[in-house]
A and B are shown apart, each in its own frame.
Chain A
Amino acid sequence: MLNFLIRRTVFMFVALFAVTVISFFIINLPKGDYVTAYIAQLQATGSLVDADEASNLRKFYGLDRPLYIQYLKWISQIVLEQNLGFSFEYNQPVTVVIAERLLLTIILAIATIIFIWIFAIPIGIISAVKQYSFWDYLFTFLGFIGLAIPDFMIALIMMYLFFVWFDFSPGGLFSPEFSQAAWSYARVMDLIEHMWIPIVVLGTAGTAQLIRITRANLLDELAKPYVVTARAKGLSEWKVIAKYPVRIALNPAISLTAYILPFLISGSVIVGVVLSLPTVGPMLVKALVAQDMYLAGGIILLVGFMTVIGTFISDLLLLWIDPRIRFEGS
């Protein structure tokens, strides 16, 4: 158990480190550095910057130092001061710019995972218990389609259908009157009202995948001798299934959550753009197009962190639910 815990914790930190390196790499990818971009922006507004000032700025930001020093400086700022740099597009620190959007992204991701669980697990169980029934075939087929069609296409199709059928275009997470308002009960309710479309769009693929996994695992488990033992004991069919195989089939459901989390976050970026959600997705696209690299890098970093930490949490859940892992290696 301790072994598993240590391994996963070490892995989490290594993954977090990898995310920081990749993010920093992306920040430094475009030609020219932060100062070049800054100067270009100043020039666009009419003010001129001479070469001396530019090199002073570079020194100030440490841009004349080797890359690894820059990385250390960047990472220590993040760790010590929670400072992700400055967004010149918004003229504000990155943390300020993305705070609310990141929160909404996290809320959306968690809500989607809950949605996936609520729908996929019961459907997967029904499909397995009633194997080869009409419902099994229906869900298997729908699952296939849900898995194959990318989220943003589903979003596009839904936008189109809503527009044609209800003459309404489903976008955003808030009604106009709440979009800039402070958090309140009414705003939360408004969010919940708007959130279901992106949740369905984002959750479809994950749901399909989880149905498949739950079904396959449960079928596997149902064929195992301990199920026969439980039946031979005189346990009712419903209890047999609920107590034994379902519990075991839940484990892959949890590990799968860790597996689909990156896809979910990836998808939420694009779906965010299609449905114009106030999440980090559209902001990332804008920042990348405008080469506002500290903002873009910050978003990529935080989104990566979210995924890695989410994976870690699901590992802990697995540890809690499956005794076999607890005893591993002991």
Chain B
Amino acid sequence: MNYLSKIKNKFFSDKIPEEIIVQEDESIQIATQRQLIWRRFKRHRLGFASSIVVILFYVVVLFADFLATSVPVHYGAARGFMPPQPIKFFQEGDFLSVCHVIGERNLESFRMEHTADCNNREPLQLFGKGYEYKLWGLFKTDRHLFAMKNPDANVDEWIHLMGTDKQGRDVFSRVMHGTRVSLTIGIIGVGLSIVFGIFIGSISGYYGGLIDSLLQRFIEIIRSVPTIPLYMGFSAAFPADWTINQVYFMITVIISLFAWTDLARVIRGRFLSLRDEDFVVAARLNGASTMRIVFVHMLPSFYSHIIAQASLALPLMIVTETSLSYLGLGLRPPAISYGVLLKDAQNVQAVAHSPWLFLPAIFVIVVILALNFMGDGIRDAADPYQEV
């Protein structure tokens, strides 16, 4: 009976052999790993739709100044709490135009009340001239998506796509700039985390043993400490005379200082499972250097996991920055970020009377959800069999 059992393995395949499945669809057979992931990702509808939203947000990051209508820090007390003004189409020969808004103080409630007077209109121009800025810090230009046609009209007084805040600053322009700051902090932070994560994770996973368990305990300790109070402690120590850029940079560093652990765990897990794979052993036997094995042979085989993990870390970074700035311990005005904008929405009464102050919150929620869904989609596509 025993030899029978051995022989049976030859004739009675225990699994359905791969090649049979493959024969069904020739195209799957020749698809590369990347094509397979891409195909699965496209099938993940929510994730795919979200990735389009994410792309739109990063278009805003690239073209914040172009999309903004007025200088985001230009204030004017007289323009405070103006409601959003829609753009009118095809009014008396003008393709695009905006109405004049008249503010009047209600003498009973002492609140400003705004009415639009559409007899007094100003035409708008697409790609017209507005304030001057440097695109990507390189090209000086003054083109904007929306600009006043009449060079004498002050854009600050006319275009308020999302209304104005208490100081009369244009909320739309501020959201565009806030998006740029918050999302770049996310990207840079994730970049730094990837570097930390790959470094620690690959050491841990490649060498295993004592080094691994020490690093794992270290990661566990970092994870078991509540981060927000720590971030707060660190950022409270920033000297008051630091420039916006210095604060910006340090915030990014601090956030990524604690955020790399998830990534390191994933990478370590992958390394551990790949360490004894034939192709790695073969590379080692061929005398490849450790660096070469890690970076040429092992890392590329799970770069999709890194991307997935990174896109899941991104929203976390954005939320952290937003939280810190909201508490007044991160970026401070005149810098603009989502957190700084949300701080304006802190006063419930103000928000109740000027609900458009809450629009930045919707932007934050949309981008966070989109990033999460996208990250999930990528993860599912990269590794359809992994557990949650």
Q: Which residues of A come within 8 Å of B, CB atoms?
A: 11, 14-15, 18-19, 22-23, 26, 29-31, 144-145, 147-150, 152-153, 156-157, 159-160, 163-164, 169, 212-213, 216, 220, 258-259, 261-263, 265-267, 269-270, 273-274, 284-285, 288-289, 291, 296-297, 299-300, 303-304, 307-308, 311
Known contacts: A150-B368, A163-B348, A285-B328. The answer to whether A303 contacts B224 by CB under 8 A is no
B372 and A148 contact, CB distance less than 8 A: yes
- Interface flags for B125-151 (1: CB within 8 Å of A; 0: not) read 000000000000000000000000000
Closest 8 CB pairs of A and B: A29-B237, A288-B236, A266-B228, A26-B233, A216-B388, A265-B226, A266-B226, A262-B226
Q: Which of A149, A269, A274 contacts B369 (CB 8 A)?
A: A149
Do most interface residues of chain A lie in helix, strand or loop, or is the interface mixed? helix
- Judged by a CB distance under 8 angstroms, whether B337 is at the interface is no
Residues facing A in B349-388 (CB within 8 A) are 349, 351-352, 358, 361, 364-365, 368-369, 372-373, 376, 387-388
CB-defined A-B contacts under 8 Å, sample of 27: A11-B220, A22-B225, A23-B233, A26-B230, A29-B237, A144-B369, A144-B372, A150-B322, A152-B323, A152-B326, A153-B361, A157-B361, A160-B348, A160-B358, A216-B387, A258-B224, A259-B223, A261-B224, A262-B225, A265-B229, A270-B323, A274-B346, A288-B233, A289-B329, A300-B229, A304-B226, A307-B226
A285 and B327 contact, CB distance less than 8 A: yes
- Judged by a CB distance under 8 angstroms, whether B87 is at the interface is no
Inside 8 A of A169's CB, which chain B residues have their CB? 348
Q: Which of B220, B315, B327 contacts A148 (CB 8 A)?
A: B315
- Interface flags for B227-249 (1: CB within 8 Å of A; 0: not) read 11110111011010000000000
Known contacts: A26-B230, A262-B226, A270-B228. The answer to whether A148 contacts B323 by CB under 8 A is no
Contacts A26-B233, A285-B232, A299-B229 aside, 6 further interface pairs with beta carbons under 8 A come to A23-B233, A152-B326, A153-B361, A160-B358, A285-B328, A304-B229
- Judged by a CB distance under 8 angstroms, whether B175 is at the interface is no
Inside 8 A of A15's CB, which chain B residues have their CB? 220-221, 224-225
Most chain B CB within a 10 A radius of its CB, from A258, A266, A299, A311: A266
B327 and A273 contact, CB distance less than 8 A: yes
Interchain CA distance A144-B224 in the complex, whole Å: 24
Inside 8 A of A269's CB, which chain B residues have their CB? 226, 228-229, 232
- Interface flags for B14-47 (1: CB within 8 Å of A; 0: not) read 0000000000000000000000000000000000
- Judged by a CB distance under 8 angstroms, whether B185 is at the interface is no
Inside 8 A of A300's CB, which chain B residues have their CB? 229-230, 233
Size category of the binding interface on chain B: 35 or more
A289 and B328 contact, CB distance less than 8 A: yes
Q: How far is the CB of B349 from chain A (nearest CB, A)?
A: 7
Known contacts: A216-B388, A273-B327. The answer to whether A266 contacts B315 by CB under 8 A is no
- Judged by a CB distance under 8 angstroms, whether B217 is at the interface is yes
Residue of B nearest to A308 (CB): B224
B224 and A262 contact, CB distance less than 8 A: yes
Interchain CA distance A129-B160 in the complex, whole Å: 51
A156 and B233 contact, CB distance less than 8 A: no
A285 and B387 contact, CB distance less than 8 A: no
B329 and A285 contact, CB distance less than 8 A: yes
Q: Which of A14, A22, A149 contacts B230 (CB 8 A)?
A: A22
Inside 8 A of A262's CB, which chain B residues have their CB? 223-227
B234 and A26 contact, CB distance less than 8 A: yes
Q: How far is the CB of A40 from chain B (nearest CB, A)?
A: 13
Interchain CA distance A149-B232 in the complex, whole Å: 20
Interchain CA distance A304-B233 in the complex, whole Å: 13
Residues facing A in B298-318 (CB within 8 A) are 315
Q: Which of A149, A163, A265 contacts B365 (CB 8 A)?
A: A149
Interchain CA distance A303-B233 in the complex, whole Å: 13
Residues facing A in B313-339 (CB within 8 A) are 315, 319, 322-323, 326-329
Q: How far is the CB of B158 from chain A (nearest CB, A)?
A: 29
Interchain CA distance A300-B230 in the complex, whole Å: 7
Interchain CA distance A169-B351 in the complex, whole Å: 12
- Judged by a CB distance under 8 angstroms, whether B194 is at the interface is no
Q: Which of A150, A213, A273, A291 contacts B388 (CB 8 A)?
A: A213
Interchain CA distance A213-B387 in the complex, whole Å: 9
Residue of B nearest to A28 (CB): B237
A304 and B225 contact, CB distance less than 8 A: yes
Interchain CA distance A96-B372 in the complex, whole Å: 42
- Judged by a CB distance under 8 angstroms, whether B342 is at the interface is yes
Q: How far is the CB of A310 from chain B (nearest CB, A)?
A: 9
Interchain CA distance A267-B233 in the complex, whole Å: 15
Q: How far is the CB of B161 from chain A (nearest CB, A)?
A: 21
Residue of B nearest to A17 (CB): B221
- Judged by a CB distance under 8 angstroms, whether B345 is at the interface is yes
Interchain CA distance A265-B349 in the complex, whole Å: 28
Most chain A CB within a 10 A radius of its CB, from B229, B236, B319, B348: B229
Inside 8 A of B361's CB, which chain A residues have their CB? 153, 156-157
Interchain CA distance A258-B358 in the complex, whole Å: 34
Inside 8 A of B345's CB, which chain A residues have their CB? 156
Inside 8 A of B351's CB, which chain A residues have their CB? 160, 163
Q: Which of B227, B232, B358, B387 contacts A284 (CB 8 A)?
A: B232
Interchain CA distance A159-B233 in the complex, whole Å: 27
Inside 8 A of A157's CB, which chain B residues have their CB? 361
A18 and B348 contact, CB distance less than 8 A: no
Residue of A nearest to B345 (CB): A156
Q: How far is the CB of A150 from chain B (nearest CB, A)?
A: 4
B352 and A160 contact, CB distance less than 8 A: yes
Q: How far is the CB of A301 from chain B (nearest CB, A)?
A: 10
A163 and B352 contact, CB distance less than 8 A: yes
A30 and B237 contact, CB distance less than 8 A: yes
Interchain CA distance A295-B42 in the complex, whole Å: 52
Interchain CA distance A297-B236 in the complex, whole Å: 12
Inside 8 A of B365's CB, which chain A residues have their CB? 148-149, 153
Interchain CA distance A29-B376 in the complex, whole Å: 38
Interchain CA distance A204-B329 in the complex, whole Å: 25
Q: How far is the CB of A268 from chain B (nearest CB, A)?
A: 9
Inside 8 A of A11's CB, which chain B residues have their CB? 217, 220-221
Interchain CA distance A318-B387 in the complex, whole Å: 21
Inside 8 A of A285's CB, which chain B residues have their CB? 232, 327-329
B226 and A263 contact, CB distance less than 8 A: yes
